[in-house]
Amino acid sequence: AQSVTQPDIHITVSEGASLELRCNYSYGATPYLFWYVQSPGQGLQLLLKYFSGDTLVQGIKGFEAEFKRSQSSFNLRKPSVHWSDAAEYFCAVGALVQGAQKLVFGQGTRLTINP
Amino acid sequence: NAGVTQTPKFQVLKTGQSMTLQCAQDMNHEYMSWYRQDPGMGLRLIHYSVGAGITDQGEVPNGYNVSRSTTEDFPLRLLSAAPSQTSVYFCATRWGASFEQFFGPGTRLTVL
């Protein structure tokens, strides 16, 4: 069955440091992959998505993610984080479930930024 | 365009009370869905609709009802609220065959 695992529940980094959030998926077919960000008290905003083609995708706010089929991973990266990046991040895979298209989400990773 | 709107933003209920969470969209998307978000569990699909008059269950449908009489609106009903339904509820839409979904701002519900 399709699933998404985000191994890190909570990550703390210093402002200006680099960031990598991990995401592993399980899906038998070609995956459609997404990263969403949820700022405190807000809804979910799409950061980036991968459907096909170049395995390194660029998103908003300076984020990028790399699709690695051999590792079933879609890790999110940012070279230098800003205090405004503090939020919860969700990885998701688009899957056909019993003939219906659905998004399956990971558990989320909460990012804290130290000044 | 307002996108996806949800009302109310916050709600406190007593066990056994009923209420309806409202979701409206002005993007003319056929697909609408409801998720609940609980700590450490990500977002879980409650119900979804692929168009007016068509609804189906997600992975956690028990205790919730939905209907879809128009393209724009997709209300979620709690007939008899339980403390286990304390959560943040998100409505989302998508167009056509795309997997990408657009989310509303959420409703934080507490059931005492």
Q: How confident is the model over B21-55, as pLDDT tens digits?
A: 999 999 999 999 999 999 888 899 999 999 999 99
Q: Which long-range contacts (CB under 8 A, 24 or more apart) does B60-63 make?
A: B60/B36
Contact B105 A36 (CB under 8 A): no
Burial of B43 (0-12, 13-18, 19+ CB in 10 A): buried
pLDDT in tens, A86-112: 999 999 999 887 777 889 999 999 999
CA–CA dist A10, A58 (Å, integer): 23
Asked if B100 lies within 8 A of A102 by C-beta distance, the reply is no
Residues of chain A whose beta carbon is less than 8 angstroms from a beta carbon of chain B are 4, 9, 32, 34, 36, 42-46, 49, 90, 94, 100-103, 105-108
Can you give the pLDDT at residue B19? Answer: 96
CA angle in degrees (0–180, nearest 5) for A4-A5-A9:
135
Please give the C-alpha separations between residue A39 and each of A43, A44, A86, A111, B54, in angstroms, as whole numbers. Answer: 7, 8, 7, 10, 32
Task: Give the C-alpha separation, B51 to B71, whole Å.
Answer: 6
- What confidence score (pLDDT) does residue A41 get? 82
d(CA B112, CA B110): 6
Tell me the sheet residues that pair with B54.
Answer: B51
Q: What's the CA gap between A69 and B59, in Å, rounded?
A: 27
Q: Look at residue B97 in the predicted model and tell me its pLDDT.
A: 79
pLDDT, position B75: 98
- Residues in B 50-109 with any Cβ partner in A closer than 8 A: 50, 56, 58, 90, 92, 97, 99-106
Under the banding of pLDDT at 50, 70 and 90, the label for residue A29 is confident
User: What is the C-alpha to C-alpha distance for residues B58 and B49, in angstroms, rounded to an integer?
Assistant: 10
Look at residue B17 and tell me whether its pLDDT is greater than 80. Answer: yes
Residue B105 has its nearest CB partner, among A34, A43, A103, at A43
pLDDT in tens, A34-79: 999 999 888 899 999 999 888 999 999 999 999 999 999 999 999 9
Tokens of A6: 């985000």
Contact A103 B50 (CB under 8 A): no
When CB atoms are compared, the residue of B48, B50, B103 closest to A43 is B103
Chain A CB contacts of B90 under 8 Å are 43-44
> Averaged over B3-14, what is the pLDDT?
96
Whether B41 contacts chain A with CB within 8 A: yes
Say whether residue B48 is in contact with chain A using an 8 A CB cutoff.
yes
Interchain CB distance below 8 Å, A101 and B43? no
B27 close to A (CB below 8 A): no
Task: Give the residue-averaged pLDDT of A8-29.
Answer: 95
A43 min Cα distance to partner chain B (Å): 4
Q: What pLDDT is stored for residue A71 in this prediction?
A: 94
